Chain A
Amino acid sequence: MKKLSVFLAVMLAMALLSSACLAEAADPLGKYDEMITVHFVRDTDDTLDANYFSQHPDKTMTDNLWCDLYRDVLNINVEYDWIVKSGDEYDQKLNTAIAVGDIPEFVNVSTLQLKQLVEADAIMPLEEIYEKYASPFAKEIMESTGPSPFNAATIDGHLYGLPNVDSPLMIADLLWVRTDWLEKLGLPIPTTMDEVLATAEAFANADFDGNGVKDTLGIAIAKDLWGQLFSLRGFFNAFDAYPGIWVEDENGNLVYGSTLPGAKDALRTLNEMYKKGLIDPEFGVKDGGKVAEATTAGKCGLFYGAQWNSIYPLQSCVNLDKDAQWRAVSIVSATDKPLKAQTNVGTLSWTVVRKDVAHPEAVMKMFNLFIEKNWGPDNENGIYYAPLDSESIWKLSPVVPTNPHKNDGAFLDLEQYRKDGDESKVQGEALSILKKLQAFESGSEDGFALWGWERIYGAEGAYGVLIDYDAKGMTQDNLFVGAPTETMTSKMSTLTDLQDEVFTKIILGEEDVDAFDKFVSDFNTLGGADITREVNEWYATVK
């Protein structure tokens, strides 16, 4: 008995001591004495398979560079309760998990899911952990686009999710166009909507592969309509409509950008394009990966999408056809109003922690390490972010807080280098990109696999266009950046489903373009009016 109490006393002392240590030290990159296991869930995608796992068949989701790093540096062992193939599946599976209360320890969620988890009282506030454990450098990076990524996850004054920050600018749409086809047909790079339509029509009617069949598409669209690949956002922006984000009307009130009158004009134009055979009648059933088969096979030369599209899927197009050339150009306006490309809070996911987790700070340490390794002073970006032989390797980390200004910063550094040729000033990620550009310019076989990078960071690269948007004030931010409102949590996804369904039908001519007006009134009766009111109440508090 005495032995036992001595043992207990010692244990107690040790426990007190270690907690005291934690309280004082709170080392942002402190290594745990004993290995701890953290359970995440995740999705994977085609780019990881195509760029990483195909080249490293012995690696798995839990045995790779990033998991090793977390184990070695922090003594954190990462495991996944489940892994699914796509973002869609991830949302479905996670929603079900939330519904049945089977919530993972650490999980990346949208703001809607975050709100549901808070309502369910299932996740813990993280503001103290953030204050205590975030390294100064991580704080600098995560706060560099202002407070909105944090506001969006703050409910009743508590921060419930750590933002996997990213650049708001990065998701603005560009117009990707096959310039070798333009040259063949003697067409200019489109600068007005009429020229875009003319280009689409010319592409659809041309027979580039000489098989005697008009089997090229005018413009490619994927079924999810607003993704970062084969999107319609840029097209709607041309008509002064901003699907999915909240913008100010002339009275200074927030309105939902999908319900603006310009959206009707955009739909009418798309339907006219469909009637002319410029749009794939099957687009409603094809996701981005499926549509990518058309660009790869040289059946499509025009679409709206994000800056990274040259790496995936366009790289496979040029791999097959060495004469193919693509270029990202500015989206165009169809009205006399100044053109604005829509952006959003760059952050797409927030990492939340289940209430009963013993080491919630582990995730903040992982954030610190991810940011430190990729953009820290040690210049290890070339190893951990996107090395020459294992593109997309950064996605192997379960948390991906990204330096929002890394890409435009790198592009500007490279622009400077192109002017003065001083390689010594190019550092960090810019340096690893410069090596890729040089490998491509060498004309070697391996270098050609980096064509996609040259299209983003080269002299006529996609990032140049994005930086131009920013410099000229040609962006439309999402003006609602708070946590989801009450009605939004329950009704918004049904409303966006309805919107996508109606828009798809109008484009395909299944419904008349006037169905848009019915959509707007349905939107309002089915909760949209309440959401708009709640959003404006929020807006009044921040204006």
Chain B
Amino acid sequence: MHNTAKAPSLSRNGRLKRELPFHLMLLPGVIVVFIYMYIPLSGLIIAFQKFIPAKGLFGNQKWIGWDNFIYLYQLPGAISALRNTVIIAFFKMILHLIIPITVSILLNEIRSSAFRRTAQTLIYLPHFLSWIILGGILIDILSPNGGFVNRILGLFGVQPIFFLGSNDYFRFTLIATDVWKEFGFNTIVYLAAITNIDPNQYEAATIDGANRFQKMIYITLPNMRMIIVLMMVLSLGNVLNAGFDQVFNLYSKQVYSTGDILDTFIYRIGLIDAQFGVATAMGMFKSVISTLFISVSYYCAYRFADYRIF
């Protein structure tokens, strides 16, 4: 596609005729995207209204300009929700890369395939539990009053820690439990990449006298480079998604200052307090920031890793 200069000298009409079936095949997808992604964007006008739902989206609503945004700025929780979102999402992104890569390389080095397969299955099971269920389980096992984890810590003389209620530990708990839940599943992607590496490279290295660790560093990792960058760029889309399901099921008023994220904040303002204008303003703000982040990181991925999706 890049060397358009040498493209056959088909007329514009001729080319259209040739490619028409492909365009038609694309059409259903485009229509669906248009209906579910672009049309709802018109709802953004709510951010500038004192919105009364029953009057309808295009009804006779009162326009209030930037008032909802100013109100948001004054609301004490809004800034900390933004900060929490960035911190939590950032650490989740980093750890969701490092830990699955490490685990997949280590698993790959294990000789016994029975053990490898069992381990693989066991670590990716939590992925299939919803946060509703895990929330209940975690509240119990992390409880400072006789929770499993605190009892173990107690054996080492550690005072009970209120993981879900202390602002010192809440973010850590969120990140740790999320990584625990998802790392097994992510590992599979990298394991698949590793199996695709040409065995000849390892044989050649063995003949050259490389030990296992050197083979890991000089063969396995470089071969995984493309998939790692791909996963990283894909995960950038989540830069402001710190995980609504998880936070919603684990947080409480006393950890709002470290655990409240944009999505839970929007949920409370919109669905609980019924301040639809303010909630939409927050959602819009989030989208704008996300777009910015994604554009910049996509550019960086292209610039420094020479990777582009389109």
Give A residues with C-beta under 8 Å from B: 91-92, 95-96, 98-101, 116-117, 119-122, 223, 281-282, 284-285, 490-491, 493-494, 497-498, 500-501, 504-505, 508, 510, 518, 522, 525-527
Contact = CB atoms under 8 A, between A and B. Distances in A.
Interface residues of B, number: 31
Interface string B158-195: 00001011010000000000000000000000000000
Interface stretch (B218-226, B270-278, B290-298): B270-278
Contacts of A96: 271
Contact of A282 (B55, B165, B257, B276): B165
B9 interface: no
Contact of A285 (B54, B77, B252, B274): B252
Contact of B272 (A92, A119, A525): A92
Contacts of A91: 272
Contact of A504 (B50, B75, B254): B254
A121 B272 CA distance: 21
Contacts of A518: 76
A510 B257 contact: yes
Contacts of B71: 526-527
A285 B164 CA distance: 9
A498 B164 CA distance: 20
A92 B273 contact: no
Interface string B253-273: 110110000000000110111
B271 A223 contact: no
B144 A281 contact: yes
Given A281-B162, A285-B164, A526-B74, A99 B274 contact: yes
Contact of B256 (A92, A491, A493, A501): A501
A504 B254 CA distance: 6
Given A281-B165, A284-B165, A494-B273, 5 more contacts: A281-B144, A282-B144, A284-B253, A501-B253, A527-B71
Q: Is the interface of B mostly helix, strand, loop or mixed?
A: helix
Interface of B: 50, 52-55, 71, 74-77, 139, 143-145, 162, 164-165, 167, 252-254, 256-257, 268-269, 271-276
Given A282-B144, A282-B165, A526-B71, A493 B274 contact: yes
B145 A282 contact: yes
A494 B75 contact: yes
A510 B53 contact: no
Contact of B271 (A95, A121, A284, A491): A95
A525 B76 CA distance: 11
A525 B274 contact: no
Contact of A223 (B139, B162, B252, B256): B252
A176 B167 CA distance: 32
17 contacts: A98-B53, A98-B274, A99-B53, A121-B55, A122-B54, A281-B165, A282-B143, A284-B252, A284-B254, A285-B254, A490-B50, A490-B275, A494-B75, A494-B273, A497-B273, A501-B256, A504-B254
